[in-house]
Amino acid sequence: MAEEILVALAGGVFDQHDQVLRVLQSAFAYQGGQVNPPSSVTRMTEEDVENDAKNGDLIVAETLEGEIVGCLFTKEDEDDKGPFFYLFHVAVLESHQGKGVGNRLLDLAETLAQSKSLDRVQIMSRVELKPVHAYFMNQGFKLIGTFNHDGFDRPTSLRFEKRL
3-state secondary structure string, 98-156? CCCHHHHHHHHHHHHHHHCCCCEEEEEEECCCHHHHHHHHHCCCEEEEEECCCCCCCCC
- Angstrom distance (rounded) from CA 5 to CA 65: 10
The pTM (predicted TM-score) of the whole model is 0.94
- 120-126, strands of its sheet edge to edge: 5-9, 57-63, 68-79, 82-92, 120-126, 157-163, 142-147
Tell me if 128 is assigned to some domain: no
For residue 66, tell me if it sits in a domain: yes
Number of structural domains (the chain) is 1
Residue 46, domain CATH: 3.40.630.30
In a domain, 145, yes or no: no
DSSP codes, 16-76: -HHHHHHHHHHHHGGGTTTSSSPPGGGG--HHHHHHHHHTSEEEEEEETT--EEEEEEEEE
Residue range(s) defining the domain that contains residue 92: 5-122
Specify if 74 maps to a domain. Answer: yes
In-domain check, residue 157: no
> Is 17 a member of any domain?
yes
- Alpha carbon distance 55, 66 (integer Å): 24
Answer yes or no: is 31 within a domain.
Answer: yes
Task: Tell me the pLDDT tens digit for each residue of 11-35.
Answer: 777 899 999 999 999 999 999 889 9
What tens digit of pLDDT does each residue of 79-118 get? 999 999 999 999 999 999 999 999 999 999 999 999 999 9
3-state secondary structure of 94: helix
Q: Is residue 129 part of a domain?
A: no
